[in-house]
Amino acid sequence: MSHDHHGHDHGTAGKRLGLAFGLNVAFTIIELVGAWFTNSTAIAADAVHDLGDSLSLAFAWGMQGLSGSKPTQTYTYGFKRLSLVGALANAIVLLAGGLVVLTEAVPRLWDPGQPDAKGMLALAVLGVVVNGAAVLRVRHGSSLNERVVTWHLLEDVFGWVAVLIASIVMLFADLPVLDPLLSVLITLWVGFNAARHLKRTVDVFLQAVPDGVDVAALREVARRIEGVVDLRHVHVWSQEGEHHVLTGSLVLDCVTLEEAEHIRDEVARALRDDGIEHPTLEVVSSKRAGALEAACAGEED
């Protein structure tokens, strides 16, 4: 039953990313043409940004579909981590695109030119509508891949709101420097958040303890189960930022094998309730490290 649910999630996620990709590509073309007509570095900067987003969205869309494939003999955990590759590509493209934009926008601070404020205003309104629609489509996604994409699109909405405000100001005041200044500020803000998402993605690749997971609290959850002495050698990581895995040694009082299996299953259920999808627990005796039955038998003798 759970496999069907996950398959449905991946299919829905793929559709959300596909729609976001389509909207982004279409609007990127409009931006590139609009930037040329309006002589706006802010719009040109956002066009470069959106072009990079379109390429990384295409990659994220493909990786999201593959990530739902069933496990194989070689890839026993399945392919969920492929969605991380899309998230990693998104972050890298944004950072690289930001450097390109800065090299073009910074010199314009001293020689801004004269942008077409009315054209900027029209494109800004369209930008808010198109990117806002894309955000509404993907914002319910729960995978790290979708969260990174959602943040990119949300950044675009905020960027276009800023362009909208700047274009209105330039309609009434001769301040052409607002255009390159705005492009620099947007790029720095996008770069900061891209770097933050890149760190989170790398953390998942390095099998860091997931955000929001407290290893000490998980050990306490296990200790509250009757018969459990401790949960040791605990390792927790995430497959792709959403599905968490735990391994550990469950130390029990002297019990029968049947009782040990029951306690282990009870601890596993408690850990799942606490956000661990796949707990793997080794059972050992509190008397000494080794087979539980052998330890108990030795005590009885």
The model's pLDDT over 130-159, given as tens digits with 9 standing for 90+, comes to 878 777 766 665 555 566 667 767 777 877
Same domain assignment for residues 186 and 255: no
Same domain assignment for residues 77 and 114: yes
Instruction: Let me know if residue 291 belongs to a domain.
Output: yes
Give kind and range of the element (H or E) at residue 281.
strand 278-285
Apex 6 CA angle, 89 and 71, nearest 5: 75
**Helix, strand, or coil (residue 193):** helix
Apex 266 CA angle, 209 and 260, nearest 5: 105
Q: Which two tokens stand for residue 250?
A: 């469950």
| pLDDT value for 2 | 42
| Confidence at 65, pLDDT banded by 50, 70, 90 | low
* pLDDT tens column, 67-95: 667 788 888 877 777 777 777 877 887 78
Of the candidates 280, 217, 222, 209, the residue with the CA atom closest to the CA atom of residue 251: 222
Instruction: Identify the sign of the CA torsion 97, 99, 102, 104.
Output: negative
Same domain assignment for residues 191 and 220: no
Q: Please tell me the total count of domains within the chain.
A: 2
Same domain assignment for residues 173 and 255: no
Residues spanned by the domain of 30:
2-205
Same domain assignment for residues 86 and 135: yes
CB atoms within 10 A of CB 42: 32
Same domain assignment for residues 35 and 143: yes
Last residue of a domain, one of 186, 205, 224: 205
Instruction: Let me know if residue 36 belongs to a domain.
Output: yes
Last residue of a domain, one of 156, 175, 205: 205
Same domain assignment for residues 148 and 61: yes
The pair phi, psi for residue 235, each rounded to 5°, is -130, 125
Where is pLDDT greater, at 217 or 184? 217
* pLDDT tens column, 240-277: 777 899 999 999 886 788 888 999 999 999 999 998 99
Of the candidates 245, 244, 216, the residue with the CA atom closest to the CA atom of residue 230: 216
| 46 within 8 A of 186, measured Cβ to Cβ | yes
Same domain assignment for residues 161 and 226: no
* pLDDT tens column, 204-240: 889 899 988 999 999 999 999 988 999 999 999 998 7
Instruction: Let me know if residue 154 belongs to a domain.
Output: yes
Same domain assignment for residues 66 and 24: yes
Same domain assignment for residues 152 and 267: no
| pLDDT value for 245 | 93
CA gap 91, 152 in Å, rounded:
9
- Tell me the average pLDDT across 178-198: 83
Last residue of a domain, one of 205, 232, 266: 205
Instruction: Let me know if residue 210 belongs to a domain.
Output: no
| pLDDT value for 3 | 42
Same domain assignment for residues 194 and 269: no
What's the pTM value of the predicted model, to 2 decimals?
0.68
CA gap 14, 106 in Å, rounded:
38
* In the predicted structure, residue 58 carries a pLDDT above the cut 80: no
Same domain assignment for residues 198 and 279: no
- Strands 278-285, 228-238: pairing is unpaired
Instruction: Let me know if residue 111 belongs to a domain.
Output: yes
What CATH number is attached to the domain comprising 292?
A: 3.30.70.1350
Distance of CA 104 to the CA centre of its chain: 29
| pLDDT value for 221 | 93
* pLDDT tens column, 170-181: 888 888 888 888
Instruction: Let me know if residue 275 belongs to a domain.
Output: yes
**Helix, strand, or coil (residue 279):** strand
Where is pLDDT greater, at 47 or 219? 219
Of the candidates 168, 188, 186, 166, the residue with the CA atom closest to the CA atom of residue 177: 166
CA gap 218, 46 in Å, rounded:
45
CA gap 144, 242 in Å, rounded:
7
Collect all residues with Cβ–Cβ distance below 8 Å to 261 and sequence separation of at least 6.
283
Mean residue pLDDT across the chain:
78
Collect all residues with Cβ–Cβ distance below 8 Å to 223 and sequence separation of at least 6.
229, 230, 231
